[in-house]
Structure 1
Amino acid sequence: MKRLSIPLVLAALSGCTSVSHYVVASQFVASSQGQQPPEVIETEAYRVDGARTTTVAVRAPDSCANATADQASGGAQSQGAILATTCGVEMGDIERAFARANYKVISWKVLAREMAGNKSATEVAQALGAEVLFQINSLEKSQKTLGKDARWERRYYRSDANGARLGDQPLPDDQRDLIARTYLTRLEGQYNPRTYAVTLDASAVWVKSGQSIWYYRWTKAAEPPESGSSYSLHLNCKDNVLATCIATRQAEQERARSGGGSSQARSGEVVGVSVSEKAEDRERAVQAELLKEVIDNFVQRFSAARSFAPGS
C-alpha cells in the first residue's frame, strides 16, 4: 500500500492567553497496481528456430505517435521539430535493445522502404537477411485514475508547541468536516491521483515459412507517485474558531527561525547558478521509463530461446 503523509499543525488560540495545539495527519492510501506478468506464448518452432536466430527485423505498427526524442522522454515539450520520423523514437529503442542483446538488426526504415514496392514484409525481411520478423501490433501509452480503493486517511492528535504528538485527539464530526473543508481538501486536491501505463503487443514470424512462432503482450503500469504531495501548515486560530485561522507555511517559519544570525554588509557577492534539466512533461517522462522496461523485457524474453540451442 502506498502511504503519502500530509502533516498539518493546528495552533488554536483560546481567549487571550491559552493556546491549544493539534496535529492533523492526512495520508493518501492506494493499493499497488497489481502488476500482471507478461503474457508470452512459445511454440515448438520458437524453441528450435528462435535458438538459432542471429538476425532480426522489426516492422512498425500501422500507426503510432510522432514525437522527437526529447518529447518522448519527457525532456521537453514540443516547440516544432526540425526533423522527426513517425515511430522513429520507439522503433529505435526496440532496435537498440536487440543490438544490445547481440542480434544483427535490419533497419525498420529500410524494411518499410522496400515494402513500398508491393512486397510482403516477410519477403523483404528474408531478402535483407533477417531470420525473424517482429511485427509490433500495438504500442500504447495510457493513463488512468486510481481505483475506488484510493482514499485519504486522517488522524488527529494533541501536540506541544513544536508539533510533537502527545496523544490522540478525538474531534466531533462537525469540527473534522470544518478542518477538511477549510484546509485539507485544497491541499489533497493538488495530488495527482492518476497513474500511467504502457502496453506492447507483438509477435515473431519465422520469415522462411511465414509462421508465427512467438507471441508477447504486457501492460506495465506505474505505481502512484510519491513526490509533490507533502505539505506542512501552521495555523493560528483565534478563540478556537477553526474557520478563521491564519495559515503560514511551516517552511517559512523554519527559515525565519534560522535567519536570526548575524549578517554582513558586502559591496559585492558571487552567486552560483545551478542549471539542471527538468522534465517539462512529467507524464511522458514516466511513460518513457515504463517503455524502456517493457522493451527490455520483450527482448530478454525472446532471447531466452538461446537456452534451447544444442550445447547451451
Structure 2
Amino acid sequence: MTPPATSTLPPPARTPQPLTDGRRSGLEHALVLTFVAVPLLALVAAVPLAWGWGLSVADVVIALVFYVVSGLGVTVGFHRYFTHGSFKANRPLRIALAVAGSLAFQGTVTGWVADHRRHHAFSDKAGDPHSPWLFGTGPRALARGMWHAHVGWLFERDRTNAARFAPDLLADRDIVRVDKAFLPLAIASLVLPGVVGGLVTWSFAGALTAVFWAGLVRIALLHHVTWSINSICHMWGDRPFAARDRSVNVWWLAIASFGESWHNLHHADPTCARHGVKRGQVDLSALVIRGFEKAGWATAVRWPTPRRLERLGAQASTRRAAGRTVTVTDPDASGSPSA
C-alpha cells in the first residue's frame, strides 16, 4: 500500500501584532494638547512675570522638589525600571516610582513605556514614533524632523499598541491602578504645590505663585528636557559607543535630565542602570538607583562592566575608522525589558 501523504509545508507564521492599536479619541487628543500647551504658555509667561512680581525663594524650593520627584519618577521609574528592567524593585518602590512618574504629566506608565520600547525596537527607522531622521537629511527635512521628534509626534493620532510593547504592565494590577489614577495624579501635580506654597507663606498669593512656578512652569521645563532627549540627543553630540542608531551624548543636558542625556551608551546598552559611564559624566539617576540598592529596595541592578564598555567602544572606533555608520553587533544590546 502507498503510505499516506504527509505535508511538508511549514506551520503558518504567527501574525505579528500591529504597532498601533487604533486612533486616539477626540478627548484623548484634547488632553494631550492641554497637557502640552498650558504648561508651555506658562513657561512663555514666566520670564516677564519673574521681573515684576510673584517669584519667591519658597516658589523656587517647591518647584525644585517637585521637579526632582517627578523627573526621577520618569528617568529611574518609567525609563530605567519599567521600560528596560535595569533593576528589580520591591512592591512599595515599584508603586512609588509609578506614582512619581505620573506627576510629570507625560502620560500613563503603560503608555509611556509602550512608546519608548517601540522607539528602541525601530530607533531612527520607520516605526520609531519620534525620530528626527524620518523625513530625510536636507535642511528642511531635518527642521521638520527636529520638530516631529521634540513635540510633533505627540499630536499623531495613532496610539502605540500596549498589548505588543508592554504586556507585562497590562498584567500588573498595581500598575493598572496607577494608570487609572493618572488624571487625579496629574491634577494633584498642580494642586499640591499650591497647598504647600499656601501653608509655607500662609497666604492665597503664595498658593497661586506656587501653582504657577512649581506646577505649570516646572511641568513645562521637565517636558522640554525630556523631549530634548528624543530630538537633540539623536542629532548632535558624541558617539563613543556602538549603537544601532544616531543616539549621541549631550553633556549640557546631563544635570537637568538626571543623566538621561548620556544617550549614546544607553542605546548601545539599553538595560544598563548607569548611562554616564566615563569620568566626569554625572548621572544622578544612577546615584539614586545605587541608594535604592544599598537600602535593599532594589536588587539585581545591571551595572556596566569594564569588559562590555571596552567592547562597545572598540566597535565604535572600528566603524568610525572605516567610515561607516556606527551600529551595534552585540546581541545583548536590545531595547527589550529584562525578565
- Into which bin does the TM-score normalised by the smaller protein fall? under 0.3
Q: Give 1 or 2: higher strand fraction.
A: 1
Q: Is the helix fraction higher in 1 or 2?
A: 2
TM-score (structure 2 length as normaliser): 0.23
Q: TM-score, normalised by structure 1?
A: 0.24
Higher relative contact order (CA 8 A, sep 6+): 1
